[in-house]
Structure 1
Amino acid sequence: MLQKVSVIVPIYKVEKYIHRCVDSILKQTYTNLEIILVNDGSPDNCGTIIDEYASNDCRIIVVHKENGGLSDARNVGMEYVTGEYTLFVDSDDWLDRNMIQILMSTSLIYKADIVQSAFYYAYEDYLLFDNRFDKKDDPPIILGNKPLMAELVKNEIVKNFAWGKLYKTEIIRDIPFKKGVLFEDVFWAHLVMHRVNTYVILNEPLCFYLQRSDSIVSTYTPKNLDIIKGLLERHHFIEEFYDHLIDESYKGILNTSLIHYNLLLANRNKINGKKYRYEIEIYIKNNYGRLKKSVINDNFLKKQLFLFSLHPYLNICFLIITRLFRRLHILPRPIRLERVTLRGSGDL
C-alpha cells in the first residue's frame, strides 16, 4: 500500500499564482496525497478559490485562519497532517508532475529521513538552474548526520529552505516554525537536520521557485536582518552539538552580515538603518579574532573583513573595484547559473 504524503500549502495574497500551484499538486503521478491548503487570512479571492478546489477533490483539506504569517500557517497545517511523509509547497511555486513519485521512490530505496530535490529559479520568461556544484544527471548524494550538518552550514548543496524536501513526518512533527520572523527556515532547519540519519539530494530539478518582484523578501526592510538572528541562534546550537563546525558557522555569519550592512547602506534613503549598521559593526569588532580565523582559507572574505575593520566604506570600494575588474575581464567572473529560455507561458 502506498504511503500517504501530506502536502502543506500556506496561502496569502497569491490569487495570481494559486491555480498553477494547486493544479501542479493535483496532477502528480503519485496520487495518495493529503493536500492541506491553509488560507492565512488572505484578503483576495484565494479563500473562495481553494474552497472550490476542495469541493472537487476529496484529497483537499481547507483551513481558514486569521493572518499570522508563513510560520503560523505551516504550524497550523501540521496539525492536520496524517501522512507518513510531509512536503511543504509555497503557494507561488509549482511542481514537476513526477516530483512526489520520484521523492517517495528515493526515500524508500535509501531509507532516507529527508529527500531534497533540485529546483529552478523561475522568472517570467526563463529559468535558472544552479549547476555550480552538481549537474542535473549526476547521481544522488547521500549524507549522514555530520556531513549533512556541515553542508547545511555551508548552504551550498544543502539548502535551508523548508520547501523542496520530502520529510518523514515523525522527524518534523514536534518542531514548529518560529513565528513573526522572516527567513523562518533558518531558525528551523538545523533542529530538523540534527535528527536525520540519512539525507539524499537529487540533482534533477523537480520544482520551480518563482522569483517575484513583489515578494516579501524582494523589498528590503530591517526585517530582512532576521536572517542574521537566525544564524546567530543556529550558531549557539552548533557550539553545543557540532563544535567542529564553529569556524564555518562564523564564516556564514560574517558573509551575511557584510551583505546586509551594504544593503542597509544602499537603502539609507528609505531606511534609517544607522542603528542596525552599528550593531553589525560592533558584532564584527567584538568577534574579530574568531571571524579572522574562520576565513583564513577564504582570501576574498579575508580581504573584506580586514578592510571592513579599518572602515566599512573601504570594503564597499573593494567590492566596487572587484566588480569593475570582473566586467573588464581583469578578474575571472563567477560561474553563472545555467539559463533555460522559455518559449511561452505553456512551458511553465
Structure 2
Amino acid sequence: MRKGKVSVVVPIYKVEKYIHRCIESILNQTYFNLEVILVDDGSPDNCGAIAANYNKSDPRIKVIHKENGGLSDARNHGMKRATGEFTMFVDSDDWLENNMIESLVKCSQAYQAEVVQSAFFYAHEDKLLLDNRYHNEHDAPIQLDNRKLMYELVINERVKNFAWGKLYKTRLINDIPFQKGVLFEDVFWAHQVMQRVEKFVLLHKPLYYYYQRYDSIVASYTPKNLDIIKGLKERHRFIENYYQGLTDESYKAILNMSFIHYNLLLLNREKDKNGLHRKEIQSYISENYYKLRRAVMDDKTLRKQLYLFSLHPYLNVLFLGVRKVMRATRILPKPVGLKQEVSSK
C-alpha cells in the first residue's frame, strides 16, 4: 500500500477532560504517515497548553492557537494548513480505533474512491450503541456512484451528513469552507462536497467513537438548534437545481425535522417568546402544503402527521403521544433500535 500522508484536523474547545483520549487514539494509529493539526479555538481551559505539549513530543503534530470562532472556523483554519493527500476531521471528544486510518486509506486506494466512510459507535459513558439496521460489520464494502450517494445523503440513513468519520481526498474539499456562525454546520457543507464525488465507499465495521456528551451544544436545546432546518432548506435549493429527482426526499427531510423541532419548541416554550419560531415552522408547512403532501404520499406516517398538523399542530403531538404509549404497552411493535455493544472506553 502506498503510504500517502493523511492530515487529521482536530478542533479543540473546552474538552480538557477528553482531549488526551482523542489525541492518543490518533497518535497510536497503525498508519504512521500522519499530520495531526490541533486547532486551539481560544479554549479557556488548559487545552491550549495540552496541545502545545503534544507538539513538543511528536513531530507529526502541528498546533494552531486562535481566537474563539466556533467549530466551523476552527476546521477552516485546520484545512488551510493541511498538506496531506487525504484529510480527516475528528471532534476532540471522540476517538478512533487504532486501525481506522489504515483501513480507510486501503479502501480508498483499492476502490479509487474520493471519500470513504466507516460505521461508528454512539459512545455513552456506560455503553456503546451501533446502528446495524442496514448492514452487518462483516458485510463487503458498498460502492456508491454520485446519484446513489446523493440519495443516501438526503435520506441520512447509511451516508451521514457528519464531516467526521470519513476520509476525503484533500483536493476534493480544500476550497469548500464550513459556514461560520451556524450549528449543524455539516448539513450546510456535505452536499457541496458530495456533488464532486464519483465514487464513495461505505465500510461497515465501526471504527469511530462518537461520544455522547450531555453538556454538548446539541444536548441543551435553544432556538439556535433550528439552524438544522435552515441548512436543510439551503440544501433543498441545491437539490432543486442539480438533483431534481430527489426533491421529494428533500421535502420529507425538512418536514420530519420541522415536526421534531416544533415539538421541542413546545417543550421549551420559555425559549420561544410569543411562539415566533413555532409560527415560522407552521407558515413554511402551510405555504408548501401541496408540495409536501405530494412528497409524503408513499410514507404513511409522515402523511398522517402532515394532515393532523395542518388541522392543528397539537393533533400531531397527540398522535405521537398515543403512538408512544401504544408501543410502550406493546399494542404496536417498537421500532428497530440500536444494538448495544461492550462498554465504552
What are the within-5 Å matches in structure 2 for residues 256-275 of structure 1?
Answer: 256-272=257-273, 274-275=275-276
Give deviations 1:262-314, integer Å, cap 9, x for gaps: 00001113442610000000000000001001110110111100000000000
Using the TM superposition, give the Cα deviation of residue 341 of structure 1 relative to its aligned residue in structure 2, in angstroms: 3.5
1:59 Cα deviation after fit: 0.2
**Residue in structure 2 matched with residue 51 of structure 1 by the alignment:** 52
**How many angstroms apart in 2 are the aligned matches of 1:185 and 1:79?**
18
How big is the shift at 1:138?
1.2
C-alpha deviations, 1:205-228, integer Å up to 9, x for none? 001000000001100001100000
Identical residues among aligned pairs (%): 63
* 2:239 corresponding residue in structure 1: 238
Aligned to 1:303: 304
Partner-residue secondary structure (3-state), 2:269: coil
- Ranges of 4+ aligned residues in structure 1 off by more than 6 Å: none
Matched pairs, number: 344
Are the aligned partners of 1:14 and 1:91 in contact in 2 as well (CA < 8 Å)? Answer: yes
Equivalent residues of 2:146, 2:194 under 8 A apart: yes
Amino acid of the structure 2 residue aligned with 1:150: Y
Give secondary structure in 2 for the equivalent of 1:166: strand
Residue 150 of structure 2 aligns with which residue? 149
From the superposition, tell whether residues 247 and 186 of structure 1 become closer, same or farther in structure 2 (CA, over 3 Å): same
Contact 1:114 1:198 in 2 (8 A): yes
- The answer (yes or no) to whether the contact 1:264–1:273 under 8 Å persists in 2 is no
Q: Give 1:194's aligned residue.
A: 195
Deviation at 1:145, TM superposition (A): 0.2
Q: Secondary structure at the match of 2:92?
A: coil
Alignment partners' CA distance in 1, 2:142 and 2:315: 41
- Structure 2 Cα separation of the partners of residues 61 and 88 of structure 1: 14
Distance in 1 of aligned mates of 2:328 and 2:162: 32
For residues 213-228 of structure 1, the aligned pairs below 5 Å read 213-228=214-229
1:18-167 alignment, distance < 5 Å: 18-167=19-168
Aligned equivalent of 1:175: 176
CA–CA distance in structure 2, aligned partners of residues 273 and 170 of structure 1: 47
**1:265–1:273: 8 Å Cα contact kept in structure 2?**
no
Contact 1:117 1:206 in 2 (8 A): yes
In the TM superposition, residue 37 of structure 1 has moved relative to its aligned partner by: 0.1
Q: Distance in 2 between matches of 1:229 and 1:143?
A: 27
Report the Cα offset of residue 137 of structure 1.
1.1
Taking only aligned residues, the RMSD between alpha carbons, in angstroms, comes to 0.8
CA distance in 2, matches of 1:270, 1:79: 37
| 147-156 vs 262-271, which moves further | 262-271
Provide Cα deviations, 1:298-335, integer angstroms capped at 9, x if missing partner. 10111100000000000000000000001111111101
Question: Residues of 1 paired with 2:311 and 2:155: CA distance?
Answer: 27
Q: Are the counterparts in 2 of residues 4 and 33 from structure 1 also a CA contact under 8 Å?
A: yes
Letter in structure 1 aligned against 2:203 = L
Aligned-pair distance for 1:133? 1.0
Letter in 1 for 2:317: I
Measure the CA separation in 2 of the matches of 1:79 and 1:172: 11
Residue identity opposite 2:16 in structure 1: E
Retained in 2: the 8 A contact 1:222–1:273? Answer: no
> What's the counterpart of residue 286 of structure 2?
285
Aligned-partner residue type, residue 28 of structure 2 = K
Aligned match of 2:320: 319
Q: What is the alpha-carbon distance in structure 2 between the residues aligned to residue 205 and residue 238 of structure 1?
A: 30
Q: Return the offset for 1:2.
A: 1.3
In structure 2, give the amino acid aligned to 1:112. A
Quote the Cα distance in structure 2 between the aligned partners of 1:320 and 1:273: 24
Secondary structure of 1:10's aligned partner: strand
The one-letter amino acid paired with 1:59 is R
Q: Which runs of 5+ in 1 are unaligned?
A: none
- Classify 1:210/1:273 alpha carbon distance in 2 versus 1 (closer, same or farther; 3 Å): farther
The secondary structure found in structure 2 opposite 1:204 is strand
